[in-house]
């Protein structure tokens, strides 16, 4: 492809090529593109009472390229309708790509705010990023604002990088619009900047909203300021975070940060921090505000590693997690898949008081959902194995003493390697669950498994196997008793 990208060319190419998609690993009910590469969710919003999901998109190959904005909508956040491409890098100020951003409804119109990327091929220090607006009356076709860009390097405070300045996320407070933007200092220390606007078109610098601390690495990506009931949070992703306890450097990590804003000085003061998801494949989560609590969705993938669907020329790469509602119960933050998923569950089987002594087969066929409830005093260590007829398997291992879970894909034929040519096999352990009852929900798709524990701990992972999972079993060296096991299929066409 040449460099003359347009929305029209992208839509034409997708229409002509989407039939060539190889669906061996393609998800049944997680969101993926019709054709081509996707990464970060963008512009996750509500417009005309429907969810709108935009995403970083390169339609012309299953590899990252000059970013467009793909677009889909949904009435329930689970079943998505693909729409026309919303943005293409067709202007001088975004010719290197329409990078990540957000969306908000105002006066019956949908406003997008995104980063224009201007790379310099010979000197990275001359790369620039700016912020732009696009507007739609119908939520489908977007027109870029005639006075773009609305923020440039001239609006960056002294001491901050003029090279890395991206991913605006809009929110409203007291009838004023604000946006947080990912940044770093000139010393490569991650931070978040705050800007303000009365009309979404003219923006002014306010403050370094989240100053550098050791958790922010060398750059903050996709910052998202979130209010849940009476508490304030940041959802953000950090580059090159170094864990001082283990010495491990995370190229990319997504944090959930609880804090409090000093609205007189416009500074977010961090109180607590944790990984939002402990899986191998979870990045750049973005939320949309709802009265009953925000809803978050993330790219279910990681940077710096193999993409098997690309390497095997399947015509697509990247998928999204299931959207999850964020709520508070007391002081605990809860994450639960949107209730709309219930409409698509069928062929349900439920069994009570299941005793496990050594090994128990839960299913000898393809299923997409499992829930398990058990009293902690009836449990010991166990392993859930998800296998196929070619003896490949992925595993969820439960450590009873630590009350945590770990995922492994080491027993699959398709290996996923990182940039150091090391196999990426095992996730971190989850945080320990609270309470005396274990409640698990597991969502299984053709190339992903998402685990939710007590609606507060999550583990999102991809895997690639030669055949679909056709057998699910649970093994324990000690006798354990499960109060209930339920399984179901998930079909978006039901």
Which residues are catalytically annotated?
A: 40
Please give the span between the terminal C-alpha atoms of the chain, in angstroms, as a whole number.
39
For the beta carbon of residue 466, count every other beta carbon within 10 angstroms.
13
Q: Do 192 and 208 touch, CB atoms closer than 8 A? A: yes
Structure tokens at 448: 């992903």
For the beta carbon of residue 75, count every other beta carbon within 10 angstroms.
12
* Strand 316-317, strand 36-47: pairing: parallel
In the numeric block, the tokens 């050791």 are attached to 214
DSSP label at 376? G
């Amino acid at each position: 492809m040449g460099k003359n990208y347009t929305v029209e060319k992208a839509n034409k190419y997708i229409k002509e090529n989407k039939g060539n998609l190889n669906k061996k690993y393609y998800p049944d009910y997680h969101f993926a593109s019709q054709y081509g590469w996707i990464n970060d969710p963008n512009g996750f919003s509500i417009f005309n009472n429907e969810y709108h999901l935009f995403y970083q998109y390169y339609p012309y190959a299953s590899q990252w390229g000059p970013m467009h904005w793909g677009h889909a909508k949904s009435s329930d956040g689970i079943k998505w309708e693909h729409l026309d491409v919303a943005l293409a890098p067709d202007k001088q100020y975004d010719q290197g790509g329409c990078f990540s951003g957000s969306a908000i409804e105002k006066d019956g119109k949908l406003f997008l705010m995104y980063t224009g990327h201007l790379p310099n091929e010979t000197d990275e220090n001359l790369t620039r990023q700016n912020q732009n607006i696009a507007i739609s009356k119908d939520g489908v076709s977007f027109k870029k604002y005639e006075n773009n860009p609305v923020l440039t390097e001239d609006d960056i405070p002294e001491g901050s990088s003029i090279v890395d300045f991206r991913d605006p996320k809009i929110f409203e407070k007291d009838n004023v619009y604000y946006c947080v933007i990912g940044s770093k200092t000139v010393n490569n220390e991650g931070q978040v900047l705050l800007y303000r606007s009365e009309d979404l078109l003219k923006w002014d610098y306010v403050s370094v909203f989240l100053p550098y601390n050791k958790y922010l690495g060398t750059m903050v990506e996709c910052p998202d300021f979130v209010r849940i009931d009476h508490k304030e949070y940041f959802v953000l992703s950090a580059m090159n975070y170094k864990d001082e306890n283990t010495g491990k450097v995370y190229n990319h990590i997504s944090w959930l940060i609880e804090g409090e804003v000093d609205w007189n000085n416009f500074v977010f003061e961090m109180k607590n921090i944790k990984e939002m998801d402990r899986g191998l494949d979870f990045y750049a989560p973005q939320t949309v505000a709802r009265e009953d609590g925000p809803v978050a969705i993330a790219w279910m993938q990681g940077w710096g590693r193999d993409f098997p669907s690309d390497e095997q020329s399947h015509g697509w790469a990247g998928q999204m997690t299931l959207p999850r509602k964020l709520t508070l119960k007391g002081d605990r933050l809860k994450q639960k898949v949107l209730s709309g998923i219930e409409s698509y569950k069928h062929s349900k089987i439920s069994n009570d008081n299941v005793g496990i002594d050594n090994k128990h087969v839960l299913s000898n066929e393809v299923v997409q959902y499992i829930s398990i409830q058990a009293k902690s005093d009836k449990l010991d260590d166990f392993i859930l194995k998800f296998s196929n007829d070619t003896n490949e398997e992925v595993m969820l291992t439960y450590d009873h003493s630590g009350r945590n879970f770990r995922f492994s894909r080491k027993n699959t034929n398709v290996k996923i390697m990182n940039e150091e040519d090391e196999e990426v096999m095992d996730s971190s352990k989850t945080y320990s669950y609270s309470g005396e009852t274990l409640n698990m929900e597991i969502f299984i798709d053709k190339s992903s498994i998402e685990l939710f524990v007590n609606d507060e701990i999550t583990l999102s992972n991809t895997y690639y196997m030669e055949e679909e999972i056709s057998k699910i079993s649970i093994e324990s060296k000690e006798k354990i008793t499960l109060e209930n096991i339920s399984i179901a299929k998930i079909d978006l066409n039901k």
